[in-house]
Each structure stands twice: as C-alpha cells, then as structure tokens.
Amino acid sequence: MSAKDAARYYGLTFDRKGWAVCPFHQDKHPSMSFRGGRFRCWACNASGDSID
C-alpha cells in the first residue's frame, strides 16, 4: 500500500495536483505531496511511507 493509498483510507482528500492537507500540523492549504510511494509535507517536513 502506498502512502497516498493509506492517506485516502484515513480520510485525506486531494486537490487537482494530488496534494493533501497535512494531518501532522494545523494546515489550511495542501502542503503534503506524494511521490514514489512516500509522502512529504513541505511545511512541517514530516515524511515517510505508509508504514510511518
């Protein structure tokens, strides 16, 4: 399962570019991107894969 699949399972929604609002800090605009089975928040620097 990719990080994006896990995020979708836990209720995150995605914008047209595939970015999501980060659940790890108070985020108002999508700042979490997904690539290669991993995620990264460009605001709080959280990153990892679906296991993390």
pLDDT, mean of residues 27-33: 95
What pLDDT score does 1 carry? 86
Six-digit token pair at 30? 């999508």
pLDDT digits (tens, 9 = 90+) for 31-51: 999 999 999 999 999 999 988
pLDDT for 50: 87
| Whether the Cβ atoms of residue 19 and residue 30 lie closer than 8 Å to each other | yes
Residue 32: the pLDDT is 97
Q: Where are the domains of the chain?
A: 3-49
Sheet of 38-41: strand order equals 32-35, 38-41, 47-49
Using DSSP's 3-state secondary structure scheme, residue 14 falls into strand
